[in-house]
Amino acid sequence: MLTRIDHVGIACHDLEEKIAFYEGTFGLIVASREVNEQQGVKEAMLHVADGPAGASYVQLLEPLHPDTPVGKFLAKRGEGVHHIGYGVEDVVAALESIGGKGVRLLDERPRHGSMGASIAFLHPKDVGGVLTELVQARPRQH
Ligand code: CMX
Ligand code: CO
């Protein structure tokens, strides 16, 4: 069902500062920058590598407000790994299958994610403390 690690989501206070760190330290390149009001974040995807099942990224996340998922996480735990995003071929089918196993779905239906992807989250309490995102990438443009 899972085709790759699409991205690792990292919560931070200052997006521009962390982008500069990842560029300067690891030589990563920003693939996209977006504000996602629905998710309450300003975020950037930094390209790590291409694999047979698609690309993988680091997603840097700065909250738009304190009362958002990433804002609350930062207040409680400070900066660090916030979630893992796995690639799936079909996010609707994956949600149905995973929900059927008793894992709570934070999104019953996919939402809009970075770079045109369809995304959905699973409750961290049902995944051993790991906030888990399913990512169906936008079909590649030719
Ligand atoms: N990883 C692991 N555990 C987490 C967590 C995370 N990222 N965020 C919250 N939790 C834990 C908390 O520590 C808390 O546990 P305790 O009760 O043991 O203290 C519990 O979950 C409840 O946390 P909360 O602070 O009360 O927060 P809420 O229940 O209001 O929300 C969650 C938690 C996961 C439901 C919410 O953050 C959510 O819906 N997240 C999905 C959306 C999201 O994160 N969007 C931003 C990223 C967008 C993108 O990737 O593009
Ligand atoms: Co993400």
Average pLDDT of the chain, as a whole number: 96
| DSSP-based three-state secondary structure for 73 | helix
pLDDT at 142: 60
Q: Does residue 2 surpass a pLDDT of 80?
A: yes
- Residue with the smallest CA separation from ligand 1 atom 5 is 131
Residues 99 and 77: their CA atoms lie apart, in Å, by 28
In whole angstroms, how large is the CA radius of gyration of the chain?
A: 15
The pLDDT confidence band at residue 113, using thresholds 50, 70 and 90, is very high
Q: What is the pLDDT of residues 81-111, one digit of tens each?
A: 999 999 999 999 999 999 999 999 999 999 9
Strand partners, 62: 42
32-44 pLDDT tens trace:
999 999 999 999 9
Q: List the residue whose alpha carbon is closest to atom 43 of ligand 1.
A: 69
Note every long-range contact of 136-142, with CB atoms under 8 Å and residues 24 or more positions apart, other chains counting: 136/87, 136/88, 136/89, 136/90, 136/91, 136/110, 137/6, 137/54, 137/87
